[in-house]
Amino acid sequence: MSESTHTPKPGPAALSVGARVLVRRPSGPAQTGRIVEDFAALTDTGERGHLWAPVHRWAVALDDGRLVFADTDGLTADPA
């Protein structure tokens, strides 16, 4: 395997794959779910994403069954 020259920015300690989170979205009320993937390696490069479709760091499976993508500033560790 080749070594990656990219080091992702660490998120808050409470945010990691498997963590329960509260997702705040501008289009509706906050919802709870579980982080299922961290795409940090893809978020800091200028080669990926588009201005109209940016790459978001976290994939979150919401409790209602939907999958959403969010940035760190849109998530809070679920206090429940």
- What CATH number did the domain enclosing 64 receive? 2.30.30.40
Q: Residue 22: its pLDDT value, please?
A: 94
Domain count for the chain, please give it.
1
Under 8 Å between Cβ of 27 and 53 = no
- Render each residue's pLDDT in the chain as its tens digit; 80 residues: 445 454 445 445 578 899 999 999 888 899 999 999 988 777 665 665 566 667 788 999 999 999 999 988 889 987 66
Q: Three-state SS for 41? A: helix
Smallest CA-to-CA distance from 31 within 9, 6, 5, 64 is with 64
Element (H, E) at 40: helix 40-43
Give me the domain span that covers residue 37: 20-44+54-77
Q: Are strands 20-23 and 67-70 parallel, antiparallel or unpaired?
A: unpaired
The structure tokens listed for 49 are 């994403």
Q: Residue 67: its pLDDT value, please?
A: 95
